[in-house]
Amino acid sequence: MERKIGKYRWLWAFLLLASGLVAQEVQLTARSSRTSVGLDEPFRVTFSSNARGGDLNPPNFEHFIVVGGPYSSQQTQIINGSMSFSRELTYQLVAQEEGTFSIGPATLEVKGKRYESNTLTIQVKAGVQRERSSSPTKSVGFTVDILSSKKEVYVGEPIVLLFSATLFEQVRDLNMLQTPNFENVLQQQLDFEQQSRRERVGSRIATILDFDKRLIIPNKPGTLGGQELKITGAVQKPTGRRDFFNMPLMRWEQEVATAKIPAVTIKPLPTPKPAAFSGAVGELELVRELSRTAVNGDESITLKLRIEGTGNFNTISVPELIPPQGFDLYDPKFNEKIRYSERGVRGYKEFEYLLVPQFKGQFILPEMQWTYFNTKYGTYETITLEETTLNVTGEALNEASTTDAGSTPKVQREVSSIDNDIRYLQEVDENKTQSKRPLLWLWVVFGAVVLGWLLQLVSFHPKIKSPEAVRAAVKKDINAAWKTNDPEAVDQMLNALEGALVQRGIAKEHISLSTLKEVLGPEVGGRTNELIERLQLALYAPNATGSNEEWLNEFNALWEQL
């Protein structure tokens, strides 16, 4: 039995260890090399786990910058037959601002189960911040500086910022952690080769490395400054120990250096600005170059219009040429050469025109004016390119000659040979004048037509006549009918009388001698009754009628009294 155990003791030991490990619970811890750090002072945060597998995810290092790592390591230990395993993930951080900050827990997922580390609290103090830029202490491996080309500029005037690192030790992996963030400026990273040189800084020899160059063109007045540049690098430092050959042992330590941009005052451009101000700022010139001013008909002129000097070339545009008369102008060719240096932006922008003459004679290349702000004198300057006369000769072209007519030259026309070219005078009608309102009468006629149409819509109704008028009209009608021997005359007269009696309150069926006498009086009533009877008789027996004239007279007499 002992022999059997001895034969398999290693196997037993392995199984025991394995079972012990399996039974061991997964642990994830976080620790920091320091709990109180200064600004820009690197420190380490390490996450340890005893789990062999799984994904270890670091937290979001808010308020800190990762300047090194992650460095991972694993370790297996067997002590007194007990085996342990651990793995670590280490980050090198620097704080970005003062205060007390927490670093959240890292997470580890093993076989679908999620584990979290503890949270770290780090206190960041300004007092621990190291001296920058000047008088470096011995412990500083490198510093960084920002050099500005100007301390005071106008809006639109370019500034060049040079980022330079001073290396006192061997430094590797130099990186920009944070670049200045400008507002209201046009920023452009300039292409240039990194340059290094050896210089004495204080009592030490250092390597100066210019590693970045930027062009800044401010758009608004104010102060440019305060923004930070932060770089990191691994510095070689002695450990204080020596190796077997008595050579000093070195190690690489991560360091951070910070520099602030020196304050640059951005002044507004003076007001009032000239109306023709182009927006160009700097020390500039407007140049117009002509390949020739006298040209044959089959030749052309090359005209270059150029802005050159130092200024905000990124936003400058060359003014358009005012084309001369008598020339064909082709689309210009654009040339540009701009160099960026600590002194600003130098170069030129140019339009190259080709002028092809179309006519023979003298033509004016117009005067041009261009206004910019001169930063040297702090004033607006207007550059004037004077008018230039271009002489065109050539038999193939039409003639035209130029004379000086006052201040502005003018093309003088050839008129001596036009006798047969233009038509002669026409006969003038001196009495023909232009009316001030030639069509007024026509609108009046049109108005009459509109009125005519309106009349068509209006129908005429007879007016309501007064009783007297009605009576008079009836009498008139009866008289007219009677005199023309109208057969209806008797009927009309009888109807008129009956109608009149109705108006007096005597209905037709109540007409009688007594009623008439009672209402109209004895005399008129009797006469009316007699006339009515005669008329009724005449109506039914026309031959028995008496004198027509007599009846009419009687009717007229009674009508007035009824």
Partner 1 sequence: MGATVISLSDSASTLYADGQFESARTLFESLAEKGTADPALYYNIGNCYTRLGQFGEARLWYERSLLFDPSNEETLHNLEWLNTRLTDALPPPNDALLHWIGHQLRAILTPEHWGLVAGVLLAGAFALLILRKFKRPSLTWRLPLALSSIGLVLLLAAQISKPQSDKVVVVGNNSYGYSAPDANGKRIVLLSEGSAGRLVRTSEGWFYVALGDGRQAWFSSDHWIRILPINLH
Return the residue of 439, 464, 541, 544 that touches partner 1, per CB under 8 A.
Answer: 439
Contact status, residue 303 vs residue 352, Cβ threshold 8 Å:
yes
Return the residue of 60, 433, 466, 543 that touches partner 1, per CB under 8 A.
Answer: 433
Rule CB under 8 A: say whether 398 interacts with partner 1: yes
Per-residue binder mask for partner 1 (CB under 8 A), 450-489, x = binder: --xx-xx---------------------------------
Return the residue of 428, 464, 541, 544 that touches partner 1, per CB under 8 A.
Answer: 428
Return the residue of 298, 367, 488, 550 that touches partner 1, per CB under 8 A.
Answer: 367
Task: Give the full edge-to-edge strand order of the sheet including 28-32.
Answer: 28-32, 43-49, 82-95, 64-79
Backbone torsions φ then ψ of 243, nearest 5 degrees: -90, -170
Return the residue of 4, 198, 423, 461 that touches partner 1, per CB under 8 A.
Answer: 423
Rule CB under 8 A: say whether 276 interacts with partner 1: yes
How many residues line the site for partner 1 (CB under 8 A)?
58
The two tokens of residue 417 are: 């040979």
Nearer to partner 1, 202 or 274 (CB): 274
Q: Which residue has the tokens 């007269």?
A: 493
Rule CB under 8 A: say whether 101 interacts with partner 1: no
Nearer to partner 1, 55 or 430 (CB): 430
Nearer to partner 1, 183 or 367 (CB): 367
Rule CB under 8 A: say whether 279 interacts with partner 1: no
Closest separation between CB of residue 408 and partner 1, Å? Answer: 4
Q: Could you write out the three-class secondary structure of 252-277?
A: EEEEEEEEECCCEEEECCCCCCCCCE
At a CB cut-off of 8 Å and minimum separation 6, what does 497 contact?
A: 528, 531, 532, 535, 555, 558, 562
Contact status, residue 378 vs residue 387, Cβ threshold 8 Å:
no
Burial class (CB in 10 A: 0-12, 13-18, 19+), 495: middle
Nearer to partner 1, 430 or 468 (CB): 430
Which range in 53-61, 69-77, 448-456, 477-485 contacts partner 1 by CB under 8 A?
A: 448-456
Residue 107 and residue 555: Cα distance in Å, rounded? Answer: 135
Rule CB under 8 A: say whether 396 interacts with partner 1: no
Among candidate residues 179, 173, 208, the one with its CA nearest the CA of residue 194? 208
Closest separation between CB of residue 429 and partner 1, Å? Answer: 5
Contact status, residue 206 vs residue 212, Cβ threshold 8 Å:
no
Rule CB under 8 A: say whether 319 interacts with partner 1: yes
Closest separation between CB of residue 469 and partner 1, Å? Answer: 23
Contact status, residue 138 vs residue 238, Cβ threshold 8 Å:
no
Which range in 93-101, 211-219, 439-447, 500-508 contacts partner 1 by CB under 8 A?
A: 439-447
Contact status, residue 380 vs residue 420, Cβ threshold 8 Å:
no
- Cα 273 to chain centroid distance, Å, stands at 24
Rule CB under 8 A: say whether 379 interacts with partner 1: no
Among candidate residues 43, 235, 227, the one with its CA nearest the CA of residue 124? 43
Closest separation between CB of residue 430 and partner 1, Å? Answer: 5
Residues found near partner 1 in the complex (CB under 8 A): 274-276, 278, 319-320, 322-326, 358-359, 363-364, 366-369, 398, 405-406, 408-415, 418, 421-434, 438-439, 441-443, 445-446, 448-449, 452-453, 455-456
